[in-house]
Amino acid sequence: MKTATTHSAFLLKTIPLLVFLFSVTWVSAQESSLIANYNAEDSLAEEANLKNAVAEFTSRTNAFSLQEYISSELEFPNEGRAKGLYGSVTVRFEVLADGDIGTIVILDSPGPSFDASVKEFLNEMPLWTPAYSNSVPVASVRQLELNFRLR
């Protein structure tokens, strides 16, 4: 009877320790798996960003942001200035797979002279960096709101 009691006491002391060690090992394995999955997801996200990207403006010398380029190159139409017109032009345009500007659609405008100014501006822009889908350049659509203010 003494042996069974001693054996039972040993098991009662040992089982919680084994359960604890198993739990710690299992949690550590889970954490390692989570870390590995997290790193794999980061890597896949970075790869996806390289494979799938939106079209972006790039100036000839990379010295200008899009906003700086607009400020320096967009011309206020003479007719609009003479009539005291001002406002915003909302334009949607296609950036082709080669980075050139394709179809241009004026969505909102203060008048035809503003439409012509925006179309001329877009057609004279340097090539854009095209959008990418699965590492292949593709055509995409961008939209801008261009503000014309009298100064």
Tens digits of residue pLDDT in 115-127:
999 999 999 999 9
Q: Residue 150 — very low, low, confident or very high, per pLDDT cuts 50/70/90?
A: confident
Radius of gyration of the CA atoms of the chain, in A: 32
What is the per-residue burial (b if ≥16 Cβ within 10 Å, else e) of 3-42?
Answer: eeeeeeeeeeeeeeeeeeeeeeeeeeeeeeeeeeeeeeee
CATH code for residues 66-148? 3.30.2420.10
Q: Distance between CA 42 and CA 126 in Å, rounded?
A: 33
- CA distances to 33, 35, 48, 127 from 30, rounded to whole Å, are 5, 9, 26, 49
Task: Supply the pLDDT for residue 79.
Answer: 92
DSSP state of 99: S
pLDDT of residue 130: 93
The first and second tokens of residue 126, run together, are 């340097």
Please count the CA atoms within 13 angstroms of the CA of 92 that sit on its side-chain side. 5
- pLDDT tens per residue across span 25-71: 333 334 444 334 444 444 444 444 556 788 888 766 666 788 988 99
The whole-number pLDDT of residue 116 equals 96
In this prediction, what percent of the chain has a pLDDT beyond 70? 63
Inter-residue contact 127 to 58 (CB < 8 Å): yes
pTM of the predicted model as reported, rounded to 2 decimal places: 0.64
In this model, does residue 24 exceed pLDDT 90?
no
Which position has the token pair 């999955």? 37
Domain boundaries, the chain: 1-51, 66-148
